[in-house]
Amino acid sequence: MRQAALALVLLALVALPPLAEPYILHVAIVVLINVVYAEGLYVIMRMGYLSFGHAGYIALGAYTSALLSTELGVSVWLGFPAGGLVAALFAWALGAVTLKLRGIYFSLSVFAFAEVVSAAFRAFDVFGGPAGIAGVPRPMFLGTRLNTHLGFYYVVLVTALVSLVFLYRLGATRFGFTLLSLRTRHTEILAESVGIDAARYKTLAFVISCFFCGLMGAVHGHYLRFVSPFVFTFFLSTDLVIYNMVGGLGSFWGPLVGSVLLTALGEQLFAAGYYKSLVYAVVLLVVILALPGGLIQITRAREMGAARRLGWGKAPVTTAER
């Protein structure tokens, strides 16, 4: 049943766009980008690490690719993975230091890093300074530059699908399950006691998370044909956290559902500015109080009902203690 539904969605994503008008394609592109960002963040959130600084890694990916293509004339196709690699590199370097910290300390240190990145991009003219870098080119494909919405949509779609498939399968590997065991300090100690090198797993997870965020950040930059410190802000980081929380941390589909629905909702509230923030926040609070497992908990209604009747306690596998 689920296979059929997925196949249908996939078919729609591939076959319908030539019929769609440019605005719909724009929304689709933004949704796909946000989904990958959210799923990238999910890798470390299910490990119990809350990051308010992912925009920093996204920015690193975006700027890398932008600079490579505008300053050095490197092909955009190479720029994408380069962006992912640079973000991953910084994640690896920072991870060694920050992953030792737990809870709010970690969150704030990642946030601090993102602010330093942003400040660095603003300060130096080689990065375009506060004005950023304009004229970031679209990739070339079979001789034409993909300047139309439709053309670039397929680029985004392919990148997103590849990333999501990888991230989905990651959760099902032994590596993925081991990450779950690192969710709190206590379980981490437990894991270490059976020989799991927690630091290595955490670092690898962080690197993977930031790689995909950097990769998609590069795609994002080439979509806008522009990068600047004001595109990748703290508000973006917060939005990603909200997508994860609203969707639910219990499964891969949670952040996906969260980001699709909230991004689409955001586009509807186009005239509304701060009303949109208000709606996001209210939805977030309602979900946290009423549905601690996020929206995907609704699909688990039958399981939840059974668990409750059997007296198995409250919320599903979503919490991460301090």
Partner 1 sequence: MTRRWPLALFAAAVLVAGLVPAAPAHAQKAFKMGVIVPVSGPAAAFGLGCQRGLEFAAEDAGVFTVGNEKYKVEVVTYDTVYDPGKTVAALNRAVYNDGVKYGIIIGAGVHPPILPIIRETGFLDLAFAAAGRQLTNAENPTVFRIMASSDQLYRTHLVPIIEKLNVKRIATLGPNDELGKNDAKVVRAQVAALKGKGVQFVGEEYYERGAKDFGPALLRLIVQKPDLIETDGSPTGSIALIAKQARELGFQGYFLNSTAVLEAKAISDIAGKAGDKIIALRIWAKPPTPLYTQLAERHQKKYGEAAPGTLWEAYAAARWVVNVIQKTGTFDTKKVADALGQSTFAEHPFGPASWGGEKNYGAKRQIVLPIPASILKDGKWEAFDVRPGKFE
Partner 2 sequence: MDPYLHLLLQGLAIGVLTGILYVLVALGLTLIYGILHIVNFAHGEIYMLGAMGVFYLQVVAGLPFAVTLVLIVVGSLLLGAVVERAFFRSLRGQWLQLVVASVGISLVIQSVAWIAFGIQEKNVPSYLPGIVEVLGVRLPRERLLAAGVGLVLVAVLYLLVYRTKAGLAMRAIEEDEETARMLGVNADRVATLSVALGFVLAALAGAFVAPIYSLNPGMGLEPILMSFIIIIVGGLGSITGTVLAGLLVGVLQSVGAVMFGAEAAYGLVFVAMIAILVLRPAGLLGRV
Taking CB within 5 to 8 Å according to partner kind, which of partner 1, partner 2, none is near residue 290?
partner 1
* Amino acid at site 269: L
Among 11, 285, 298, 317, the residue binding partner 2 under the rule CB under 8 A is 285
Q: Shortest gap between Cβ of 20 and partner 2 (angstroms)?
A: 32
Helices 54-71 and 103-123 pack at an angle, to 10 degrees, of: 30
The contact pattern for partner 2, residues 76-115, with x = CB under 8 A and - = no contact, is ---------------------xx-xx-xxx-xxx--xx-x
Which residues, 6 or more positions from 64, have their beta carbon under 8 angstroms from its beta carbon? 79, 82, 83, 86, 87, 214, 218
Q: Shortest gap between Cβ of 112 and partner 2 (angstroms)?
A: 5
Which span (7-15, 144-152, 263-271, 275-283) binds partner 2, by CB under 8 A? 275-283
**Under rule CB under 8 A, residue 283 binds partner 1:** yes
Helices 198-224 and 185-193 pack at an angle, to 10 degrees, of: 120
Taking CB within 5 to 8 Å according to partner kind, which of partner 1, partner 2, none is near residue 18?
none
**Under rule CB under 8 A, residue 123 binds partner 2:** yes
Among 271, 310, 311, 313, the residue binding partner 1 under the rule CB under 8 A is 271
Identify which of 237, 183, 171, 233 has the alpha carbon closest to the alpha carbon of residue 208: 171
Counting Cα atoms < 13 Å in the Cβ hemisphere of 199 gives 9
Which residue's CB is nearer to partner 2, number 178 or number 238?
238
**Token pair listed for 48:** 């119990």
Instruction: Please report, as residue ranges, which positions from 86 to 115 form the binding site for partner 1 (by CB under 8 A).
Output: none
CA–CA dist 320, 106 (Å, integer): 13
Which residues, 6 or more positions from 288, have their beta carbon under 8 angstroms from its beta carbon? 245
Instruction: Please report, as residue ranges, which positions from 198 to 217 form the binding site for partner 1 (by CB under 8 A).
Output: none
**Under rule CB under 8 A, residue 186 binds partner 2:** no
SS3 content of the chain, % helix, strand, coil (to 5): 75, 0, 25
Among 73, 143, 195, 273, the residue binding partner 1 under the rule CB under 8 A is 273
Among 122, 171, 185, 187, the residue binding partner 1 under the rule CB under 8 A is 122
| 3-class secondary structure per residue, 183-238 | CCHHHHHHHHHCCCCHHHHHHHHHHHHHHHHHHHHHHHHHHHCEECCCCCCHHHHH
**Under rule CB under 8 A, residue 319 binds partner 2:** yes
**Under rule CB under 8 A, residue 129 binds partner 2:** no
List residues binding partner 1 (CB under 8 A): 21-24, 26, 30, 122-123, 129-132, 134-135, 147, 224-226, 228, 230-231, 233, 235, 246, 260-268, 270-276, 279, 283, 286-287, 289-291, 295, 297-298, 304, 308, 314
